[in-house]
Structure 1
Amino acid sequence: MTYDLSDTLSDGYEGMGPVISNILHAVTPLVAGRFVREQGQTQGISITDMLNGGARFIDFRIMYTRGPDRAIGEKDWYCLHGCESQKKALEYLKDVRTWMDAHPQELVVLWASRHGNTGACGTDQYPDTTPQVRQAFFKQVQEVFGELLFNSTQRLNETSVLSLQKRNQRLVWLATDYVESTESSPLAVDAKSIDNQLVNSGHGLGAIKFLRQGGPKRRDSSAQNRFLLMSMAAGVAKEAIEAAAKIEFLPNVFGTHDKWRKECAATSGVPNMTFCPKYLMEWSLMTNFYNQKVIDMAYVEGAADLDVDFPNAIYLDAMDLGGLIRTGTATINPLEEGPVHGTDGFAYSATVIAATV
């Protein structure tokens, strides 16, 4: 849900203790909030537009936090990626329900976590929360989706799409902290069943090595009732973010900005790169430029080799309207727009669908 982030750092942000998190929650809207948001925004179109474009797996990150621009007051569940979302998490889920009602044959998988960790439980997953608070949120989830929730007394990997459609159990809720957050509800699936593969995306095309064994890997996961997930999202080095922050906030004394740009560029591993992406989405666009080659290679090679195949789901950045992934240089709303020629994209959804057919 990073298309709708505020300039307020979420409570319980990954890697920060509660005291620092609370201070930064109050401070970020006033100081550096936009920069912090820019380091977390990977998407620019709404959840409805993503679904219209073919997305069926949603990385849905949530945290129990005070609302944006509020230093005090009651907490609720918001989405987050560094900064927290403008609206409560439940509002985005209602958008999903509305879309599913309008598309009665479609299946959607939602993975709820704080920061993409499948194994952390309790307050390690959701700091400063109680089981009762977490269970109250899942009850709200049940109220939104009702009969659409998949009943996990059936093995997901042994249940056909047709069966899910006939039973109208078309929403799979993959829950981290499954035992406490859902009270081991059959209306959720334990996120520990996710086999989350953080493969090497980027200019080295390392992800194709994984996809060349995608068929056997997915069959192995299916036999274990696991959900094979692959990341093709951008990975940004801490040093690159630090360099971008120095360029943003510190004066250019004796050419220091050039020095920091070179340090930032060097972290990319791209030969002869000289610029420093300012936003996380700029890194995402560059990653997608190489991702399109990997996805197309898998499609072409898979036509002749059944071992070359896609996993159960892929998550990546900068999805664009119509099922494209943005590969040009223009960032997607609400970030600053680049030149018109920068809106090029790759037919991501259509390629995966074609490979499946």
Structure 2
Amino acid sequence: MPSSTLFATLVLAVANGAVWDCDKQTSCASCTGLSHLLDESNPQEDVLRGDRDNENQQAEVGLLGDDELGTQLIGCNWCLLDNSCHAYGSLLNKCGSDDYLKFPDVCPTDYPSETTPEFLGDWMGSLNDVIGNLTILDLSLPGTHDSLTYDLSTTISDGGIDDYPELSKILNLFSGAVDIIPGQIEDFIRQQARTQGLTISQQLDNGVRFVDFRQMKEGKGDWYSLHCLESNQLSLTYLKEIHDWLVAHPKEVVVAWMTKHGNGEAKGDDAYPGVSASDKQAYWAQVVNLFDDLIIDTDVSSPNSTSISDLIARSHRFIPYLGDYEEFASDDLKKHAMDGSLVDNQLGSSVETEAISYQSEKDAFSGAATTKKNDKASNRLFLRSMATSSPDCQIEATAYMKFDPFANTDDQIKACTSGCFDIPSLVGWCPSSLMDVAQMGAYYKQLTLEMAYNNFDQGWEFPNAIYLDSLDVDGTIRVGTTLPWGVEKEDDVEEHRTTRYPYADTLIGFNVKLACKMGQGDETRCKELEDMIDGRRDKYKMELWDDGKYGRSSNWPQLEI
């Protein structure tokens, strides 16, 4: 999130009143979406606030909490203990501070936690008889971008704003101080930074084998994940989750790109501002110790020459590409990582210039076979970003509409739709979060993914890994309008609110096609696997529709599927 936009957000921290009725809300998203700031200086809130003499009476009906009057959060909270919506401070609320949710983006993602997707959790092992003789640098791995952002806190990371380390530290110092950065603003920042709804274990269960693992040593002395904000848990907690998942899935291999902010070329202070080499090496020693006999040993195995079967047999199933490799890995531990600069990270364009992005992806996929061949010779991993980003103007327009009671909504929407995006069908709506942008982007990413899959016989291929936003259940990406945690849109096309595209199965199906073309597996087995994967893909066939408000078009850009 750009620093200029962040400052604009802070400057625009003017509370705007809302009308709400907590006990009528039946979902976490609708309940927490009604929370707002109550500012003592805002005359619009007098009807809710009443006089100070009536404070106790107001508290009894749930209008006030235990805090003194002034700038404070008033509205509805979702109680996890009884799955009900309660007014802030309500005597009927059974939840303590650790048991209720204030904001929609922390509502549980709609995910069938009692089951894991069929096939995707063990796809490498299931296909080993066909892909086992290939290397990691032959395959195409489904990946996620900013993989750990499903668990962001409301604390600004020390290294959260690229190129502005001092600003990051200042915001980190004051983050959480209600009078300086109220919770609503911090949550707004989180909504501009979050790219995923599924946990890391759920992502792996849903077919992901490339993890974009961001990390930074914070001023408090511990390493956290980050994307502008720091994660709730220590980075080692998420790594332990990956380790435990690998133990439970003994025939799977996971590749992790471990950097501060997706730059494998950065070194020293450019990579990790203010972090000493000794601190980096101490942390890396913990990581190696955690993975123990699951981590690659490059004295024995190499991504460009060691087969998948041999990696599994040797238990070299965690392959980290480590940013700032020379400073991070001490000489005796260098063999347990690949140099992060060996990731050939091709960024392409984002949804804000979707017509250009569409052509860029076509070029990348039609030429991927050559790129992969050249990269493999030098042990480089060809990574393609299909991630989206939030344009500055979109964030600023959203901030004005959310926090400025005097903002002209029509003017802000017009500035957002015409100034931030080149999508003709985006009219009357400005995406309010990065996930909104990501799902609109995913709608168009499915076009080029499908095109590459269908053009395999014409020589099109996928990169060694793709990373993107908005991973959804059953290895899909969500291309509809409803956010993963349940926030719906008004006046959208109802039957397409949760429409999905089969992202993981598409890349896995390509791997089967490639292996069979290379003579790995007999004709009967290849036909069986291709039919099985095509059957899985048919559950989420690519769907196009026209939505003249939310940026979905059935005939733009020009289709060549």
Q: What residue identity is the alignment partner of 1:173?
A: P
Q: Which residue of 1 aligns with 2:530?
A: none
Whether 1:39 aligns to 2:186 is: no
Q: Is the 8 A contact 2:192 2:390 kept in 1?
A: no
Kept after mapping to 1: 8 A contact 2:161/2:167: no
Alignment correspondent of 1:97? 243
In 1, Cα distance between the equivalents of 2:308 and 2:317? Answer: 9
Letter in structure 2 aligned against 1:176:
G
Select between 91-100 and 28-37 the one with higher mean Cα deviation.
Answer: 28-37
* TM-score, scaled relative to structure 2: 0.60
Q: Matches of 1:76 and 1:22 in 2, distance apart?
A: 15
Say whether the 8 Å CA contact 1:323–1:347 is kept in structure 2: yes
**How far did 1:85 drift?**
0.5
Number of the residue aligned with 1:287? 441
Q: 2:162 & 2:249 partners in 1: Cα distance? A: 39
Q: CA deviation at 1:159?
A: 1.4
Alpha-carbon deviations, 1:91-121, whole Å to 9, x = none? 0111111110011000000111111111111
Give, in whole Å, the separation in 2 of the partners of 1:230 and 1:209: 12
Give the Cα separation in 1 of the matches to 2:396 and 2:430: 11
For structure 2, list consecutive stretches of 5 or more residues without a partner in the other structure. Answer: 1-147, 513-561
Q: Equivalent of 2:294, from 116, 130, 148?
A: 148
- Are 2:407 and 1:246 aligned? no
Q: Which runs of structure 2 are paired with 1:338-353 in the superposition (5 Å)?
A: 338=488, 341=495, 342-353=497-508
Aligned equivalents of 1:214 and 1:18: distance in 2? 36
Aligned length: 344
Give the whole-Å Cα distance in 1 for the aligned partners of 2:294 and 2:330.
19
SS of structure 2 residue aligned to 1:343: coil
Q: Equivalences for 1:53-64 in 2 at 5 Å?
A: 53-64=206-217
- SS of the residue corresponding to residue 186 of structure 1 reads helix
Of 158, 164, 187 in structure 2, the residue corresponding to residue 11 of structure 1 is 158
Q: CA deviation at 1:236?
A: 2.4
Counterpart for residue 233 of structure 2: 87
SS at match of 2:335: coil
Alignment-mate amino acid for residue 412 of structure 2: W
Give the aligned residue type for 1:189.
Answer: M
Q: TM-score normalised to the size of structure 1? A: 0.92
- Return the offset for 1:264: 1.5
Are the structure 2 counterparts of residues 28 and 277 from structure 1 closer, same or farther at C-alpha, using a change threshold of 3 Å?
farther
2:347 paired with 1:192: no
C-alpha change, 1:143 and 1:319, in structure 2 (3 Å) is: same
Deviates more, 1:193-202 or 1:20-29: 20-29
Contact 1:109 1:173 (C-alpha < 8 Å) held by counterparts: yes
Residue among 449, 455, 463 paired with 1:301: 455
User: Which residue number corresponds to residue 112 of structure 2?
Assistant: none
> 1-side partners of 2:169 and 2:379: how far apart?
40
Aligned to 1:125: 271
Aligned residue for 2:237, secondary structure, equals helix
Are the aligned partners of 1:12 and 1:128 in contact in 2 as well (CA < 8 Å)? no
* Contact map agreement 1:76 1:88 (CA 8 A) in 2: yes
Q: Which amino acid aligns with 2:507?
A: V
Match of 1:262 in 2: 414
Larger radius of gyration: 2
In structure 2, how many angstroms separate the alpha carbons of the residues matched to 1:196 and 1:318? 20
In 2, distance between residues paired with 1:272 and 1:285?
Answer: 15
Deviation at 1:201, TM superposition (A): 4.4
For the 8 Å contact 1:14–1:115, the answer to whether it is kept is no
Q: Is the 8 A contact 2:160 2:230 kept in 1?
A: no
Distance, in Å, in 2 between the alignment partners of 1:252 and 1:345 is 38
With 25-34 and 157-166 compared, the bigger mean Cα shift is at 25-34
2:320 maps to what in 1?
Answer: 173
Contact 1:201 1:291 in 2 (8 A): no
Q: 2:464 aligns with which of 312, 320, 330?
A: 312
Q: CA RMSD in A?
A: 1.6
Alignment check: 8 A CA contact 1:157 1:222 kept: yes
- Residues 161, 168 of structure 2: 8 Å contact kept: no
Q: CA deviation at 1:15?
A: 2.9
Percent identity between matched residues is 36
Matched with 2:371 is 217
2:173 match: secondary structure: helix
- Do 2:154 and 2:186's aligned partners in 1 also have CA atoms closer than 8 Å? yes
Contact 1:265 1:273 in 2 (8 A): yes
Letter in structure 1 aligned against 2:335: P
Residues 278-335 of structure 1 deviation map (CA, whole Å, 9 limit, x = unaligned): 1000000001001111111110011x222x00000000001012111111111123xx
